[in-house]
Amino acid sequence: MKSLFEQNELAGIPLKNRLIRSATHEAMADEAGRPREQLARLYERLSRGGIGAIISGFLGVHRQSHGYPHMMLLDRDEHIPDYQALLEPTKKQGTPVIAQVAHLGGKFHASMVKSDVLAPSTKNYAPFGVKARAMTPGEIEETIDAFVQAIRRCREAGFDGVQVHAAHGYLLSEFLSPHCNRRTDSWGGDTERRFRIVGEIMRGARQEVGDYPLLLKISGHDWDKNGMTVPEAIKLARLFQEAGGDAVEVSSGGVNALDMSRTAKIPVEAILNLDPQYTKYHPGAKKILAVLLPLGVKNPRPIYNYNVEAAARIKEQLDIPVIVVGGLRKLDEMEQVITEGKADYVALCRPLIIEPALVENFLNGKQDRSKCIDCDYCLLGVLAGPLRCYMGKLPG
Ligand SMILES: Cc1cc2nc3c(=O)[nH]c(=O)nc-3n(C[C@H](O)[C@H](O)[C@H](O)COP(=O)(O)O)c2cc1C
Q: Indicate whether residue 46 lines ligand 1 (CB < 6 A).
A: no
* pLDDT tens-digit series, residues 241-289: 999 999 999 999 999 888 999 999 999 999 999 998 899 899 999 999 9
Mean pLDDT of the chain: 96
| pLDDT confidence bin for 33, thresholds 50/70/90 | very high
For the residues of 17-49, what is the DSSP string, one character each?
A: SSEEEPP-----B-TTSPBPHHHHHHHHHHHHT
- Domains of the chain by range and CATH? 8-263+302-381 (3.20.20.70)
pLDDT of residue 130: 87
C-beta of residue 99 within 8 angstroms of C-beta of residue 163: yes
* pLDDT tens-digit series, residues 71-110: 999 999 999 999 999 999 999 999 999 999 999 999 888 8
The pTM for the full model equals 0.98
What does DSSP say about strands 13-15 and 8-10: parallel, antiparallel, or unpaired?
antiparallel
Nearest Cα residue to atom 4 of ligand 1: 24
Residues 6+ apart with CB under 8 A from 197: 140, 143, 144, 172, 175, 187
Tell me the C-alpha distance between 222 and 275, whole Å. 24
Q: Indicate whether residue 23 lines ligand 1 (CB < 6 A).
A: yes
What does DSSP say about strands 130-134 and 13-15: parallel, antiparallel, or unpaired?
unpaired
Pocket test residue of 20, 25, 259, 345 for ligand 1, highest count of atoms within 8 A of CB? 25
* pLDDT tens-digit series, residues 107-132: 888 888 888 999 999 988 877 778 99
Report in angstroms the alpha-carbon separations of 66 from 59, 103, 106, 153: 9, 8, 11, 17
CB neighbours of residue 361 within 10 Å: 17
End-to-end CA distance of the chain: 49
